[in-house]
Structure 1
Amino acid sequence: MQEVTRHFRAMNTDVRVAILAGDPKEANRYIDQVEALFADTEGRLSRFLPDSELSALNTAAGRPFQASAMLFEVVHAAVEAARMTNGIFDPTVLPSLIAAGYDRSFELLGDQPAGRAAGWRGSWRDIRLDPSARTITIPQGCALDLGGIGKGWAVDRAVELLSDWVSFGVDAGGDLYVGGRRHDRPWRIGVADPRFPGRDLLQLQLEDRAVATSSVIRRRWVRGGEVMHHIIDPRTGNPASSRVIAATVVADSVAQAEVLAKAAIILGEEQGLRLIEGVGARGLLVLANNDYVMSTTLQGMTYA
């Protein structure tokens, strides 16, 4: 058995796929399917591609939009995630993201002059889904961002493609899933220290688990002399301002872990951990004072 790995770029992040296989050619055929899945997902769900299906949906605000099965499924998942978090996760924050200066792919951002506040943008409650017609209707002035949950959804679908393999991993920029055991031991996943690149706070020992990490440290820019980041608090329309600067969540699915990590940063450590543990997940939250808090149920998964 050997570990067959491949790295590729998709959805504005680095993706790594690994399969422990006796037949490397067969493993690579499966990885081809995963790479094609990510390319298709990016082509449909990216808000940065003017010809993506998501861009077409946003342009069609105010009237029913005939959606592909993928777009409909991801928007439905986003609405359910908003319901689970009582609106702390909200896919309609795109106008606020743009108002904060995140109007293009992150690597193209630089210092920017002060901008105007976003106008009315609606909320997740204003999204209308018609499963029988497979249409999505968002109100005028509203626009969706599916970046994080879309990436998590893609990893979860990749896991389904790889489910025939005993041992595998899919990592999309820290949103990842590990299946089975690696060389008869649990997979070891490092939780990076957001303040010191290259250093881990701790390592997790995982089997058949999803992990997602969100941080306000990595994606930052300056607008009008003010430091901004990409995690918007939908209650204010501004970047989140809690004491939590990074959140790592272990859950059953990557999409759920991604949603919970972002929600915890918005809510802060007490409410954030309560939300995470309330749905049976586990979390580690890094605070601005260089301390961190974690679920007691996560301690048994750590490796010193």
Structure 2
Amino acid sequence: MSTDYQQARETLGIRLRELRLQSPAGRLTGTQLAERLGWPHSKVYKLEGGRQTATTDDLRAWADGVGRPQAFDELNTRLKGFESHIRSWRRQLSAGHRPVQDSWNSEVDRSTTIRAWEEAVIPGMLQTPEYARAIFLRYADLHGSTRDTDEAVRARMRRQEWLYRAGHRFHALVWEAALHALVCPPSVLTAQLDRLAGVIGMDTVELGVVPLNASLRIPAANGFWVLDERLVIAEDWHAELWLDDADLVTSYLRVWETLRESAVYGADAQAVIARAQRSTRA
């Protein structure tokens, strides 16, 4: 969990404690409040210490329990402020791309099942070094960030070792448009498509491709990854969003499953990749 996120939880916890100690009916101990709310007393101290993320229902109960129901709106605003943890690219890339890759690697190493949706690029877990290098250079140009490209590529390639560990499963969905996007030289894309075709049949990888002519139940919007149904990492132009709220993770899983309905697999996926290969070589 990030330092910024943890600090936000601790700040909320301090405010919860203030409300408990300043109850209009008189100072409440943690045990008294827990009994009033029907909670284990440990929950009160975990929330106040920033060791547990409060839910909206928790905050409403707390405000009512301390006799300050009007404080709920303030508490809920604080919660909403860090349910979606925004990691701005400007801040993240101040030291280059390598630290960002290291953060990703730490979360991937903790995971056993990963679901990914990419509509514009080949998923990082399946990229060749040359393709990854081209992507990093494009973003370094865009953000004016430090060019630590070789180190970033090595870090991304280390992440792919995860695919060869027993018990892991990578479920990747890719829109066909990503197979044609010349974000790198044609020769690099050709090699990348060969690599992509080669992972079909791996026992740790399930690769689905959504053809351009597929019927879509929802638009093919921005890419995101779901790690073990505990964390979503989604990208926007200004920031990465790290989301660990259970309801939000469930929403992204529903989006992923909906997109999956339009994907093809196995030989059909091979045919879509082959079509892109012919287009690239033309």
Identify whether the pair has TM-score above 0.5, normalized to the shorter chain: no
Higher radius of gyration, 1 or 2: 2
Which has a greater percent of helix?
A: 2
> Where is the strand percentage greater, Structure 1 or Structure 2?
1
Question: TM-score when scaled to structure 1?
Answer: 0.28
TM-score (norm 2): 0.30
